């Protein structure tokens, strides 16, 4: 399936692909992020059985980047390469640190050869880097990936503002990026960042099973982003 990141993509996050049949997904989401690392059953079998109409973003988050996958990079990336071969998988999320290794670069090539895009992701669960580091990381991620994704942790309004400024700068340079600040202090960035050029937002299908701190539920994020897109000056 095709998934263009020329405009904002709202991804419904889940570890259970049966959630893709939830009416809220069809009404509000452009894609489903399948957290393979959080799945209770075999995620590759779930991909093979998926027959939904919503394109998938496959994520197999490494434990060292906040996920539940303890496989070594060879096995973990091989799983993502196989996922990319599924017709329903339109994009694959690979950690920036992995992509900067020879094995990760090979994985990115194979994902693209299979017809899927690469989301190069970076997560900071401790805080928000300095402005110069944020801009550098976003540009690096957007260079090795088709979308450069940076998620940070905001402790105050200054952190959130710094992320939005970096998002605006990256977009001005022509980079395709997705940004968000985790935590309550940065929660509003999930709705506001698209105004500054962020191309992907994430919201859980089941609010009680959020995959990152500070996520809005799917319907709320869809409404907030839509309202801001229609009335950017209000």
What residues act catalytically?
123, 149
Token representation of residue 172:
């001005």
Is 189 annotated to bind a ligand? Reply is: no
Short-list 122, 50, 110, CA closest to 80? 110
Is 125 annotated to bind a ligand? Reply is: no
Report how far residue 67's alpha carbon sits from residue 62's, in angstroms, rounded to the nearest whole number: 5
Is 219 annotated to bind a ligand? Reply is: no
Order of strands, edge to edge, in the sheet holding 117-123? 177-182, 147-153, 117-123, 89-95, 56-59, 31-35, 9-14, 200-204
Is 34 annotated to bind a ligand? Reply is: yes
Is 33 annotated to bind a ligand? Reply is: yes
Q: If you write DSSP's letter for every residue of the chain in order, what string do you get?
A: -----SS-EEEEEES-GGGGGSHHHHHH-SEEEEEGGG-SS-HHHHHHH---SS-EEEE--BGGGTSSB-S-HHHHHHHHHHHHTSTTEEEEEEEHHHHTSHHHHHHHHHHHHTT-EEEEEEE-SS----HHHHHHHHHHHHHHSSEEEEEEE-SSHHHHHHHHHHHHHHHHHT--EEEEEESGGGTTHHHHGGGGT--EEEEESSGGG-SSTTPPPHHHHHHHHHHHHH-TT-
Is 86 annotated to bind a ligand? Reply is: no
Is 215 annotated to bind a ligand? Reply is: yes
Q: Which residues are annotated as a binding site for 3-dehydroquinate?
A: 33-35, 61, 190, 211, 215
Q: Which residues are annotated as a binding site?
A: 33-35, 61, 190, 211, 215
């Amino acid at each position: 399936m095709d998934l263009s990141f020329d405009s904002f993509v709202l991804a419904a996050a889940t570890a259970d692909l049966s959630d893709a049949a939830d009416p809220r997904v069809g009404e509000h989401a452009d894609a489903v992020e399948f957290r393979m690392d959080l799945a209770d059953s075999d995620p590759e079998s779930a991909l093979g059985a998926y027959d939904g109409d919503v394109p998938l973003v496959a994520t197999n988050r490494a434990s060292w980047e906040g996920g539940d996958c303890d496989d070594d990079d060879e096995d973990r990336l091989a799983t993502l390469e196989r996922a990319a071969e599924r017709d329903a998988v339109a994009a694959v999320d690979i950690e920036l640190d992995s992509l900067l290794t020879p094995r990760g670069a090979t994985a990115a090539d194979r994902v693209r050869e299979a017809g899927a895009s690469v989301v190069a992701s970076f997560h900071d669960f401790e805080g928000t880097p300095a402005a110069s580091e944020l801009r550098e990381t976003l540009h690096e991620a957007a260079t090795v990936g088709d979308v450069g994704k940076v998620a940070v942790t905001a402790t105050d309004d200054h952190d959130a503002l710094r992320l939005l400024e970096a998002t605006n700068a990256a977009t001005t340079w022509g980079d395709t990026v997705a940004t968000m600040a985790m935590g309550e202090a940065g929660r509003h960035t999930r709705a506001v960042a698209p105004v500054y050029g962020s191309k992907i937002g994430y919201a859980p299908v089941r609010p009680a099973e959020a995959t990152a701190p500070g996520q809005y539920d799917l319907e709320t994020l869809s409404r907030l982003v839509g309202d801001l897109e229609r009335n950017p000056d209000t």
